[in-house]
Amino acid sequence: MEGGTITTVQYVISDMLFDMKYKVETINTLMLGELEIDSPNKAHGHYYEGTNTYVFNQVFSQIKIDAAKHVFVDFGSGKGRAMILAAERGFRKIIGVEFSKELVDICHKNLEIFKSNTKTKSEFKVIHADAADYAIPNEASFLYFSNPFDEILIAKVIVNILKSLDAFPREMIVMHLFPQGNRAFVDHPRLQLVKELRYGYVLRVMPGS
């Protein structure tokens, strides 16, 4: 992550306070080699590091969106931090897609703890699947990527995004944080850049001709 010492401290403290607030465990970083993953796309994935709480809140404070009207899909949902943060923002339904069964199990546990400690109205669903094989449901309208995998796998996901949109035309937004030079979304002709943020991009998926 970018920034000086003060910003780094903000990152660390925000995540510690998040876990303390909800009595969940989302902090510890895990390399994919430490996890059992049955997928031919394992080599295209990045290590697990939950979306930083401070960053998530910063980027969502800079965009205008009626979260209650959207279904949020987190690709590479890990332990569920972004899913809980999306619930804080008021998304009506939140779907996590994760190819590590171990992380899916931790995510389920964290979400159950969160639901028991809050009065959230958000509906949660966690899917153990490879993102390349995930058929994006017609209701999905806000697709969230926090550097989960490389451009090769993103290209496969884009095919699924366009299939879903063409089958059921609707407003569809993509947020790609920490792209680290990955321009698969930005350079695709069917995705229009809406806003460039300090931490990444917000794009709109364009309807087909």
- The pLDDT tens digits of the residues spanning 148-171 come to 887 888 999 999 999 999 999 999
Domain encompassing residue 39: 5-205
Q: Is pLDDT at 40 greater than 70 in this prediction?
A: no
Contact (CB, 8 A) for 154 and 186: no
Mean pLDDT, rounded, of the chain: 88
Mean pLDDT of 43-54: 67
- Compute how many other C-beta atoms are within 10 angstroms of the C-beta atom of residue 34: 12
Q: How does residue 99 score in pLDDT terms, banded at 50, 70 and 90?
A: confident
173-177/191-197 β-pairing = unpaired
Q: Measured between alpha carbons, how far is 16 from 10 in angstroms, rounded to an integer?
A: 10
Cβ neighbors of 162 (< 8 A, separation 6 or more) are: 190, 205, 208
Strands (E), 54-121: 71-75, 93-98
Q: How does residue 88 score in pLDDT terms, banded at 50, 70 and 90?
A: very high
Q: Is pLDDT at 125 greater than 50 in this prediction?
A: yes
Mean pLDDT of 52-66: 94
**Domain total of the chain:** 1
Q: How does residue 11 score in pLDDT terms, banded at 50, 70 and 90?
A: confident
Q: Is pLDDT at 177 greater than 50 in this prediction?
A: yes
We report the CATH number of the domain holding residue 187 as 3.40.50.150
Contacts 24+ apart (CB under 8 A), 163-167: 163/135, 163/136, 164/135, 164/136, 164/137, 164/138, 164/140, 165/205, 165/207, 165/208, 166/207, 166/208, 167/138
Helix (H, G, I), strand (E, B) or coil at 135: coil
Q: How does residue 4 score in pLDDT terms, banded at 50, 70 and 90?
A: low
Give me the DSSP letters along 7-49: HHHHHHHHHHHHHHHHT------B-GGGS----TTGGGB--B-
Q: Given this model, what pLDDT does residue 36 score?
A: 55
